[in-house]
Amino acid sequence: MDCDEKYDSIQEKLHMLWIAEGFDDPLDGVIDHLVRFEIPENLWKNLGSLPVPSWLAPKPGPEDRSRINTKNFISFIDSNGCKNFADETDHFVTDRILPHIPCMIGIDHSLTGGVYSALCRHYGKENLSLIIIDSHTDAVPMSVLSGAIQYDMDTNPDSVHDANDPFLYNRPDSYNASSFIHTLIKEKQVAAKNLYIVGVSDYPDKKSLRIKDPRIKKYTNAYVGLKRKGATIITKKDCKLTPRKITGLFKKISTPYVYVSIDMDIGAGNALEGVRFRNWKGLKETNICKLADAVTKIFSSSVHLAGMDICEIDPRRAGAVYPSGRDQTYKIAANLIKKIGFNL
């Protein structure tokens, strides 16, 4: 499910400008590599994908052109369309997977909340920790984000935003890919002390934290508030400079079950290209592998993997050939599943 409302994404879909051939569903691209890795077939089963309307697919057809526009995507997001799909994901996990371990391959990261909700009911939320590896913190309500954008337009003569864009104003606080963690905390599905967000590039700098404008205060408090509540936030810089720190922080995990969610933009513009959001340059593949190794060290006779997912893969770009060579998004995603899911 790909409801990206940004201009470039809409233009790609309207004019069928994708550069990657082959897979329309990122699940198929990842499964292709899992098969190549020769993961024993008795250890896993492909249960297929949830149905998605063609206009919400990453590669819509010509018949969908009339629906591919900013207004429709905004309407879908603002009316909690992402939450509806997350609920469908919840039902899928509950009805077809549990008590086995789910592994979701998806695009929109908000679907993680659906899998996590199912596992919360199954194991008890007090028994479940959540590790998210992501370049973005995904905990900013839409009204707070739009306020920060309006501040940028008011104070930055080089702002990339258009003050006449009607979609920057009066946005409701819907459940979506940039806010779903905020919702999980607000609805008390995850305790902040059991939340670990690793690899973020968007944590406000010291200069931003000193700005007094109430719009920026609300924005920075969305991040700082998580830490105050007990969440652990580890920046991309920490991942590159102090990898041992991450292993040490993971030792704090005391719940018997852990869910791991990986947004593949953690390697955007560095290890890989096939992701939706590339506004922050991500980690090298070696750094990503070290993160995966740190995660696998968590599991023992007393701490178990409850489930995992790989999200934000862009099938329009994943696996394409670039001047630097063929994109490795699917291969790296499959390798992360191999390491974390199968300890191989």
- For the whole model, what pTM was predicted? 0.94
The confidence score (pLDDT) of residue 71 equals: 94
d(CA 122, CA 120): 5
The answer to whether the CB of 275 falls within 8 A of the CB of 314 is: yes
Sole residue written with tokens 């400079």: 241
The answer to whether the CB of 150 falls within 8 A of the CB of 215 is: yes
Q: 72 φ, ψ to 5°? A: -70, -40
The confidence score (pLDDT) of residue 244 equals: 80
Superfamily the domain 7-342 falls into:
Ureohydrolase domain (3.40.800.10)
Q: How far is CA 204 from CA 53, 68, 144, in A?
A: 37, 33, 14
Helix (H) / strand (E) element for 262: namely strand 257-263
The confidence score (pLDDT) of residue 138 equals: 93
d(CA 109, CA 1): 9
d(CA 122, CA 98): 8
How do the domains of the chain map onto residue ranges?
Answer: 7-342
Sole residue written with tokens 């700098």: 205
Residue type, 18: W
The answer to whether the CB of 105 falls within 8 A of the CB of 56 is: no
For residue 99, whether the previous peptide bond is cis, meaning omega lies within 30 degrees of 0, is yes
d(CA 273, CA 313): 9
d(CA 153, CA 251): 43
Q: How many CB atoms lie within 10 A of CB 216?
A: 20
The answer to whether the CB of 308 falls within 8 A of the CB of 100 is: no
d(CA 193, CA 161): 36
Is residue 326 helix, strand or coil? Answer: strand
The confidence score (pLDDT) of residue 322 equals: 92
The answer to whether the CB of 140 falls within 8 A of the CB of 222 is: yes
The confidence score (pLDDT) of residue 133 equals: 97
In tens digits, what is the pLDDT along the chain, a chain of 344 residues?
999 999 899 999 999 889 888 899 999 999 999 999 999 889 999 999 999 999 999 999 999 999 999 999 999 999 999 999 999 999 999 999 999 999 999 999 999 999 999 999 999 999 999 999 999 999 999 999 999 999 999 999 998 888 878 778 888 999 999 999 999 999 999 999 999 999 999 999 999 999 999 999 999 999 999 999 999 999 999 888 777 889 889 988 999 999 999 999 999 999 999 999 988 899 999 999 999 999 999 999 999 999 999 999 999 999 999 998 999 999 999 999 999 999 99
Tokens read off for 243? 């990898």
The confidence score (pLDDT) of residue 47 equals: 95
